[in-house]
Structure 1
Amino acid sequence: MNSKIVWPFFLSSIKTIFYLFSFITIGLFLDSKYVVPIYKDSQHLATLVMLIGFSILFYRSTSRIRELMVYAVLIGFIGEHLFSIVLGMYTYRLGNIPLYVPPGHAIVYATAIYFCKESFVKMYRSQIEKVFTIFVLIYSTLFLIFANDIFGFVMSLLVIFLLRNKPRERLFFLSMYIIVAFLEIIGTHYQCWAWPKTAYGIFPFLKSANPPSGISLFYFLLDLGSLWLYKQRHLVTWKRMKEIRKLKESKVFS
């Protein structure tokens, strides 16, 4: 990335991703191994902070983002019970699904959307995508080498593979990868949750780090599910948007 655009990029990130990083660090700390010995019901504190953050972001968002946030909470609730409780993909500290987790998914989802909407980010989209792609490859490779994270490495490669022909979604999911990577490192360090040594605890050939590097792959399901629900409620508007987009593209390539 050109040195002249580093500072503006930093400022754009401060408004969105870095703010989220600070919120995650503080919120998860309240449910951490450091606070539990002092206050055993610390999970309730984390939930309170998360709901306050969710409410502020929800209030300041557009109607479309608000609706997507609601869908993200619903899908997050179902997904957490499926992957954690039913499939045993990971386990939370108390063996439950903390109430702060589903709204947390919505906050992460909305933050990634707002980051991609920053004017500076849109201006230098291709350069940022290249930097983020390099980060994904380096990050997952380091986890593979030093933590024997085969599971995370495979998922990271799948992220890159699935995005190769998805230019409209690429920056969003690369941003999501970085956000989720930070979230997972903080959450597992605080021992809010933990991942087994192999994928789902049942695939010995898929060794996993705690956390695995490419877990953001499953946020594809969150995004696809939220968008699908939104489309079902706004079919006419969505079809009109697609027609307008096709018209613009035809003018560009004509």
Structure 2
Amino acid sequence: MKIKNAVSLFVAFCKTIGYLTLLMVVVLFLDSNYISVRLDNAQHYATFGMLITFAVLFYKAPARIRELMLYAVIIGVIGEHLFSLGLKMYSYRLGNVPLYVPPGHAIVYITAIYFCKKASVKQHRKSLENYFAIFIIIYATLFLLLANDVFGFTMSLLVLYLLRKHPRERLFFYSMYIVVAFLEIIGTNYGCWVWPNTAYGIFPFLKSANPPSGISLFYFTLDLGCLWLYKCRHKIAWNRMKHIRTLKEKR
């Protein structure tokens, strides 16, 4: 890859995923163990920071992205209460679902969308898919070998398997995998949330790291849920888009 192309990809990364990572480093730090012992109601400050960011992005976003952001928040609320409070898949520092988490899911979701829409990213889509796939394999394998992360490794393999025949969604979910992996490392190291040492705390044969490597698999449900809600509200426009896409693929 030429230096010019590498620079353009780096800029695209910084303007999307880079900004997101910086935001999460700051916001999650406000809910960290370090801050919580020094500042009362630390989680409220994290929520305030996340809501301000969500409001700014929502205001600047086009109508379709705004709608998807709202759907992501709704699904995030339901999913967090199901997986965290209901199934005990993981737990937050105060044993609740922090108010900043659902809008955080929406921000992660649209950041991956924005990244994949960058011109330089589209131009080098196939190369990025290959690089990201290699990263996922190495990352999951290291977690398996160094942290006995059977649960995360299994989910990582499922991500790769499910995307093998879906090239249109591959880069988006590979990007999401990497973003979520970094955010999970940040959040667990800050003590914002913790994962049990086995899947759901009840499957001893599925040993888990804190965090498990392939947890982005559950973002499949977020994306599918958002698209399903969007299609339900815009059936005619969605069918028209599918028809146009089919015609383009036949050329």
Q: Which residue of 1 aligns with 2:241?
A: 241
Q: Which residue of 1 aligns with 2:76?
A: 76
Q: Which residue of 1 aligns with 2:208?
A: 208
Is 1:86 the counterpart of 2:103? The answer is no
The SS at the match of 1:164 is coil
Q: Which residue of 2 aligns with 1:25?
A: 25
Is 1:101 the counterpart of 2:93? The answer is no
Deviation at 1:228, TM superposition (A): 0.1
Distance in 2 between the 1:227 and 1:131 partners? 27
The SS at the match of 1:94 is coil
The SS at the match of 1:34 is helix
Q: How does 1:13-52 map to 2 (within 5 A)?
A: 13-52=13-52
Q: RMSD value over aligned CA atoms?
A: 0.8
Q: Which residue of 1 aligns with 2:175?
A: 175
Q: How does 1:104-183 map to 2 (within 5 A)?
A: 104-183=104-183
Q: Which residue of 1 aligns with 2:62?
A: 62
Q: How does 1:196-235 map to 2 (within 5 A)?
A: 196-235=196-235
The SS at the match of 2:212 is coil
Please give the per-residue CA displacement for 1:91-142, whole angstroms capped at 9, x wherever unaligned: 0000000000000000000000000000000000000000000000000000
Q: Which residue of 2 aligns with 1:192?
A: 192
Deviation at 1:7, TM superposition (A): 1.5
Amino acid corresponding to residue 135 of structure 1 in structure 2: F
Deviation at 1:12, TM superposition (A): 0.6
Distance in 2 between the 1:23 and 1:204 partners? 35
Distance in 2 between the 1:186 and 1:247 partners? 44
Distance in 2 between the 1:102 and 1:249 partners? 36
The SS at the match of 2:225 is helix
Deviation at 1:15, TM superposition (A): 0.8
Amino acid corresponding to residue 150 of structure 1 in structure 2: V
Amino acid corresponding to residue 146 of structure 1 in structure 2: L
The alignment-based identity, stated in percent, is: 66
Structure 1 runs (4+) deviating above 3 angstroms are 1-4
Distance in 2 between the 1:157 and 1:3 partners? 32
Taking structure 1 as the reference length, what is the TM-score of the superposition?
0.97
Q: How many residues align?
A: 251
Distance in 2 between the 1:152 and 1:216 partners? 10
For structure 1, the 5+ residue unaligned runs are: none
For structure 2, the 5+ residue unaligned runs are: none
Deviation at 1:2, TM superposition (A): 5.2
